[in-house]
Amino acid sequence: MIKAENLSKRANGDYILRDINFSLSSGSVLGIIGESGSGKTSLLMCLTALQNFDSGEISVKEMTVKSGSVNNKDEYIWSYRRQIGVVFQHLYLFPHLTVLQNIIEAPVHVLYQSREEAAEKAMELLGKVGLSHKLNDYPDNLSGGEQQRVAICRALAMSPEVLLLDEPTSALDPRFSSDVRSLLQEFVSQGHTIIIVSHSLNFLRGFASHLIYMEKGELIEFNTAEEFLTSPLDERTRRFLNHFLQVL
């Protein structure tokens, strides 16, 4: 379960997020769609408690973070952060570590798992996305699609409640997308939640159970994917969809 209540964030006096409200039950896949500059990435940075916000609150399961309380010295924030795994658009693998080291870094140093235990789980994840043979490669020697799968494995190795993917389509290697999809679906079927931020409806269609449309920092529509695509409530969503279909 992940929830945002009256979430607002300002920068230089202007709202970059304004009064965002949504609540998503476990086992869902939420797609957040909108033009660039609509506030998608800001929302992601707030939901992960990596950035502070000016009003409202966010919750994952029983944990709630109120506005202004994001602080590196607060243990509670660290517990909250561990519940959300993030895969950024440009992935940001650790370039000085191998694929395996990238994945076991946090389990070993944050969860204090033994190297063997962490490596075993990492191998299992890598096997599911067909990267068992790249174990000891460095990120720079991987293709964009391979790097993305490593980044997803790195996030999942921490067993988060929620997985956040920022613009995953840009790096995705289509030949292996089915691998990634089944890994993500398995994650959802275990009762977890996925949020995918994207400007492309194609990737979200058929994968997301819920969709949010954002415009200028505001949440225009939050709906089930089916209703969102067939009978959107807001005029602006309709306009966006029409525009998108024309482009298609």
Binding residues (CB under 8 A) for other proteins: these are 45, 48, 50, 72, 78, 81-82, 84-86, 88, 90, 92, 94-96, 105-106, 109-111, 138-141, 154-155, 158
Look at the block and give the residue holding tokens 């999809």.
Answer: 181
User: At closest approach, how far in Å is the CB of 149 from other proteins?
Assistant: 16
Between 149 and 154, name the residue whose CB sits nearer to other proteins. Answer: 154
Nearest distance in Å: CB 104, other proteins: 11
Smallest distance, other proteins to C-beta of residue 118, A: 12
Cα(166)–Cα(239) distance, rounded to whole angstroms? Answer: 24
Task: Tell me which residue of 182, 180, 152 sits closest to 91, measured CA to CA.
Answer: 152
Q: Which is nearer to other proteins, 24 or 158 (CB)?
A: 158
For residue 224, what is the enclosing H or E element? strand 218-224
Contact 188, 26 (CB under 8 A): no
Tokens 């990267």 belong to residue: 131
Between 151 and 201, name the residue whose CB sits nearer to other proteins. Answer: 151
Spatial CB neighbours of 213, under 8 Å, sequence gap ≥ 6: 33, 34, 219, 220, 221, 228, 232, 234, 236, 237, 240
User: Which residue has tokens 């525009």?
Assistant: 243
Residue type, 50: L
Nearer to other proteins, 155 or 197 (CB): 155
Nearest-approach distance from CB 117 to other proteins, in angstroms: 17
Rounded least distance, CB 49 to other proteins, Å: 9
* Lookup: tokens for 122: 């990492």
- In the bound state with other proteins, the residue whose beta carbon lies nearer, of 81 and 240, is 81
What is the nearest approach in angstroms of other proteins to the Cβ of residue 139? 7
Token readout for 207 is 């994968």
Cβ proximity to other proteins, 164 vs 208, nearer residue = 164
Q: How close are the terminal C-alpha atoms of the chain, in Å? A: 33
